[in-house]
Amino acid sequence: MLTIGTHMSIAKGLAKTAENVVRMEANTMQIFSRNPRGSNFKVYTEEEVGKFQRIRKDHQFGALLAHAPYTMNLASGEERVYEFARTVIREDVARMDGLGIEYLVFHPGSHTGIGVERGIRNIIRGLDQAVTGEENITVLLETMTGKGTEIGAEFGHLKAIRDGAAHPERIGICLDTCHVFAAGYDIVNDLDGVISEFDRVLGLNLLKAVHLNDSMMPFGSHKDRHAVVGEGEIGLEALLRVLSHPVLKDLPFYLETPLDDQGHKAEIRMIREKLNGYC
């Protein structure tokens, strides 16, 4: 069975958000682990968490994904930026693990001039202070477009981060279809080739989740602009091949497309329909 959901706002609380997932006819979701721009997070009451867990269980949600804030840059060489990132990742690994959320994904970060190698060293150091090896949650590194000084546009970067970590067994990968396409991995004309490359560099067993997005920007542009599925440069056919690929089809898929809940509901319905006719 297809596991699919979208990025959801948790402004109205966890339980309400889970209800909205059901209404959307989805069976998973991605949420921000805290305010995406600031440093704030809500502390949920026991009642709220209980209700959330009940809905999730009753409706047999697939693996849930939390996304760390965009302002968190673990690769930074700037003291203040790095300290903030280090605190956020440590707190949010623990907080999301406490909620029984399966995965926490983060953007590896931008080295802003200190170079990829030193950036990666900073990321590893930050991860090692956050991941104890005792938790159930798996931290996912996201594949990036490579805009500016962004780390993670090459599978090799992610491999270096994971290999350097003290608890690599708690670290996996989230593949973003928009990002890899913009980074120059040709999932439109050579999906099998990209999958083999991923397997060769990282190992397919590390792939835990897919961000399913079309791309407004062309192949290899290193620009990060998500489009609605079927309305971008990747196109519907190529994304259906991703959804139905034998080594990908059982992974959870999370849409991060520019639509509201109503739009996402229609998008998911369209995907299910096309997929049925496709396989």
> Which one among 92, 102, 150, 176 touches Fe ion, defined by CB under 5 A?
176
224 binds, among Fe ion, Zn ion, none (CB under 5 to 8 A by kind): Zn ion
Stretch that binds Zn ion, among 112-120, 189-197, 200-208, 220-228 (CB under 5 A): 220-228
In a 13 Å sphere around the CA of 208, the CA atoms on its Cβ side amount to 22
Minimum CB separation of residue 276 from Zn ion in Å reads 28
259 vs 9: CA distance, rounded Å = 12
**Judged by CB under 5 A, which of 111, 211, 264, 274 binds Fe ion?**
211
Q: Is 226 in the site for Fe ion (CB under 5 A)?
A: no
Establish if 224 lies at the interface with Zn ion (CB under 5 A).
yes
SS3 breakdown of the chain: % helix, strand, coil, rounded to 5? Answer: 45, 15, 40
Of 3-42, which residues contact Zn ion (CB under 5 A)?
none
What amino acid is encoded at 154 in this protein? Answer: E
From Zn ion, Fe ion, none, which one binds at residue 214 (CB under 5 to 8 Å depending on kind)? Answer: none
Residues 123-142 that bind Fe ion (CB under 5 A): 142
| H or E stretch covering 112 | none
Residue among 225 and 241 whose Cβ is closer to Zn ion:
225
> CB 125 → Fe ion: shortest distance, Å?
22
211 binds, among Fe ion, Zn ion, none (CB under 5 to 8 A by kind): Fe ion
Of the pair 115, 235, the CB lying nearest Zn ion is at 235
How far, in Å, are 77, 120, 121, 210, 247 from residue 251 at the CA level? Answer: 35, 27, 30, 7, 8
Please identify the residue of the shown chain whose CB is closest to the bound Zn ion: 224
Distance of CA 68 to the CA centre of its chain: 9
Quick one: 142 or 214, whose CB is closer to Fe ion?
A: 142
Under the binding rule (CB under 5 A), the answer on residue 224 touching Fe ion is no
Please give the structure tokens belonging to residue 212. Answer: 């399913």
Least separation in angstroms between residue 176's CB and Fe ion is 4
Q: Tell me how far, at minimum, the Cβ of 212 lies from Zn ion, in Å.
A: 12
49, exposed or middle or buried, with CB in 10 Å at 0-12, 13-18, 19+?
A: middle
DSSP character string of 115-168: -HHHHHHHHHHHHHHH--S--S-EEEEEP----TTEE-SSHHHHHHHHHHSS-G
CA 142 to CA 28: how far, in whole Å? Answer: 18
The token pair at 17 is 């958000």
- The residues that touch Fe ion, with contacts defined as CB under 5 A, are 142, 176, 211
- The residues that touch Zn ion, with contacts defined as CB under 5 A, are 224
